[in-house]
Structure 1
């Protein structure tokens, strides 16, 4: 029974809670049992609070018995990425330099989940201050990919992606400042959505408009359900757009007939693995067969990398501006190099980078006058060895060199998702679907179409400390 529960969707859990044949307490028991089995191998959890999880599950079970659930996520286990504040838990953000004192408030997204009755019992690993697209660092060590534990799950929401992919939770939260939801979604074979900036209320931070709050799931509909909760208003975010009351589940199966969709395999960056590009074909064909007009385009965004490097470096330098020498010395060496390289940036250079960022936004706004959606590979390569920052330091000196297809849309503030669309040599790959500002519904519809065409019965299998891939139904 436990194994069956591990792979149920959030929506199916709620349906069975309502029917009375399943209790949130039973689900949490199965969740914790699964976690004890896989996390010694994956190292995806940096904080575990079983007593809180059991209390929240028992409270939810009582609400369902009385017929007064707080909503469709009541009793559903959700893992929380350790870049968010949770009342009573410390927020370490993967760093020795952060305090172990408990937070006194919830991040807006966590507050909405608490109000919805979600059961949170753990925090997931992230690289130090979420600075790179993989998940390892000095505080928590190396997080591994359930499909092949010698590989990275991606990052910075790598712990969250690994737990979802491994059947521990149906939902996990993430943050995305340069691809940190979409990269691990692609590498770990799950669905991840970065909403438009301002759609999900968040606390202000040094990343400015780059970073947004979101989550990961095993299917598109669960992410739509999660978005319904996360988008509820919070007065602490003065930059959030007015709450529009959209039900993102509504029209999810309406399809893509009549949509104008562009396809770019590389966005002008000469980094794509031909096998990954070829692996996108079934997903693209599915959209065409569903009635979308998909056209190849020559879209070159490669000139945006300078702006990303300047803003990324300046943002992380601002994070540590009050650190002591000892604190700086304890940082991830790659993060320290990034910060030192940003020390000589002038106000003029930073302002010029923001001008470039705004110009890129205008370019994409004009692009979407002709195209409803844009398709790319999420990441142009498959997951590489865990514990390293780049698979090829000569070809990809920095993490953003091997993932140039995600961060442009943080600069432009656009919504983008990664939907699983197949495998290359047993490793998952993801199709990125990008829309104009506030086009989350079209992205979800297209993602659902791809999911229905490309879904398999594949599950990662962790056996005797080794990951073996079961690809039934491919």
Structure 2
């Protein structure tokens, strides 16, 4: 099946301003309100950028050109009447292909997913975005069933990083990250079960947050259980706060969903003095999080970002929470989830699965109920340890990833050949175990011009505090004008 068949050609269309693809959603919305911009122009620009750049990046597995243009015309009419339907009316948005999008297949990067449907529901995050007026331009690539922290799959092939197409954008939300970084859309959905928002945000030079677990409702329930979070991916902290505020709306299909957090996220977006956002905040800095190996250029960028926050009035001290190495426990939960997700894939169809996915499925089937309960007990102790840590430290800073993006098409860089992706994701998956909010925000570039991400971690329910620190850094050291 050719998933790109709905992409309309742009030949013969009037040129659209490049700025329509390179500005934030907040700027687009402000221009719609004054009449200086139009959803029609913005969507045409997004589709033109996709036509131009996606053949080399492979960020999209489905493009909805005709549908998006029709929605843009309807949005423009609403803005002309002064009656936008919601806070994202007319903003082009991409949806990761693990989230249900009504009327279109959700194949999750797998040759084993039937495409015929019916596809009659939106996932909760998509439903809230639709209600807010977002315009869906397409679905983005993911590794099969979102199982690993890079993006390639048997269904869609290899996705590449706009900063250097020889490298990976990370994963599993790599298509969303590449689409946002390349200016194809200002916003995209992501999921994060072990770093799948933060890792691609770091590798691709964008902003992404894994919210407190349950803050964004999830349906259908993830086979990876309470490791899996849904969150926004954008180019600016303001857009991240705006998108997250929309996505937190309640949904009766998720029995574990939290109540929306109130106006705090919007407050972050409206504040423009970096010192006011961070002054007095007690920040712990853990450059290696208990001894993880880190590239020197990544370390330098993270330390420089911590210095910026200190100069703005935060109280920054080097302190490590002392988390145990819980990779085995994470594997028990993650690999068992992968086995559950594929229990109905039988016979010859199992040969169609990503070979690495097949391997972890076999390991997942070998774990016992006692192994699972042991892993759950470990994560509860990790959560308690982090709870105590945050009584003394409002936030924790670490690198988002230990090194910049490496070669596309690999699960690990060459020096970790033969390992699983979890061998290099030690800054991210612990905070899926503890369910805390954690964001990656750009903090610099390597000498080769690849982005570096700073991870900002907060206690559960402190999502606004995490974003406030990210916003302070963004205001003090603007990066969003730098493009791949």
Q: So what's the TM-score if we normalise by structure 2? A: 0.93
Distance 1:396 1:186 in 2: 23
How far 1:369 moved relative to its partner?
A: 0.7
Distance 2:479 2:439 in 1: 19
Distance 1:355 1:404 in 2: 19
Per the alignment, residue 8 of structure 2 pairs with none
Cα deviation digits, residues 414-462 of structure 1 (max 9, x gap): 000000000012100000000000101111110011112332365444x
Match of 2:123 among 84, 107, 122: 107
How far 1:301 moved relative to its partner?
A: 2.3
How far 1:300 moved relative to its partner?
A: 2.9
Q: Is contact 1:304-1:360 (8 Å) kept?
A: no
Change (3 A) 1:385 1:186: same
Which secondary structure does the structure 1 equivalent of 2:209 belong to?
A: strand
- The reply on whether 1:210 has 2:227 as its aligned counterpart is yes
How far 1:395 moved relative to its partner?
A: 6.7
Distance 1:458 1:10 in 2: 14
- The reply on whether 1:275 has 2:297 as its aligned counterpart is yes
- The reply on whether 1:172 has 2:214 as its aligned counterpart is no
How far 1:316 moved relative to its partner?
A: 0.4
Per the alignment, residue 471 of structure 2 pairs with 448
- The reply on whether 1:222 has 2:239 as its aligned counterpart is yes
Per the alignment, residue 124 of structure 1 pairs with 140
Distance 2:82 2:62 in 1: 32
Aligned length: 461
Per the alignment, residue 30 of structure 1 pairs with 45
Per the alignment, residue 213 of structure 2 pairs with 197
292-301 or 419-428: bigger deviation: 292-301
Per the alignment, residue 12 of structure 2 pairs with none
Match of 1:156 among 172, 176, 187: 172
Which secondary structure does the structure 2 equivalent of 1:433 belong to?
A: strand
Unaligned runs of at least 5 residues, structure 1: 462-474
Per the alignment, residue 428 of structure 1 pairs with 451
Distance 1:430 1:394 in 2: 21
Cα deviation digits, residues 294-332 of structure 1 (max 9, x gap): 111133324221210111110101111121121211111
Q: Is contact 2:238-2:268 (8 Å) kept?
A: no
Q: Is contact 1:153-1:188 (8 Å) kept?
A: yes
Which secondary structure does the structure 2 equivalent of 1:174 belong to?
A: strand
Match of 1:188 among 204, 212, 215: 204
Which secondary structure does the structure 2 equivalent of 1:100 belong to?
A: coil
Per the alignment, residue 352 of structure 1 pairs with 374
Q: Is contact 2:207-2:237 (8 Å) kept?
A: yes
Per the alignment, residue 437 of structure 1 pairs with 460
Per the alignment, residue 465 of structure 1 pairs with none
Q: Is contact 1:96-1:330 (8 Å) kept?
A: yes
Q: Which runs of 4+ in 1 moved over 6 A?
A: none
Distance 2:466 2:377 in 1: 28
Distance 2:68 2:121 in 1: 18
Superposed CA RMSD in Å reads: 1.3
Per the alignment, residue 139 of structure 1 pairs with 155
Distance 2:133 2:306 in 1: 38
Distance 2:386 2:452 in 1: 25
Distance 2:241 2:162 in 1: 24
Per the alignment, residue 90 of structure 1 pairs with 105
Match of 2:33 among 18, 21, 27: 18
Per the alignment, residue 399 of structure 1 pairs with 421
Distance 2:480 2:292 in 1: 33
Which secondary structure does the structure 2 equivalent of 1:280 belong to?
A: helix
Q: Is contact 1:421-1:455 (8 Å) kept?
A: no
Q: Is contact 1:133-1:183 (8 Å) kept?
A: yes
How far 1:22 moved relative to its partner?
A: 1.6
- The reply on whether 1:44 has 2:67 as its aligned counterpart is no
Distance 2:418 2:401 in 1: 13
Distance 2:187 2:416 in 1: 37
- The reply on whether 1:373 has 2:392 as its aligned counterpart is no
Q: Is contact 1:220-1:448 (8 Å) kept?
A: yes
Per the alignment, residue 240 of structure 1 pairs with 257
Q: So what's the TM-score if we normalise by structure 1? A: 0.95
372-381 or 230-239: bigger deviation: 230-239
Distance 2:150 2:62 in 1: 19
Per the alignment, residue 470 of structure 1 pairs with none
How far 1:208 moved relative to its partner?
A: 1.2
How far 1:380 moved relative to its partner?
A: 0.5
Distance 1:455 1:208 in 2: 37
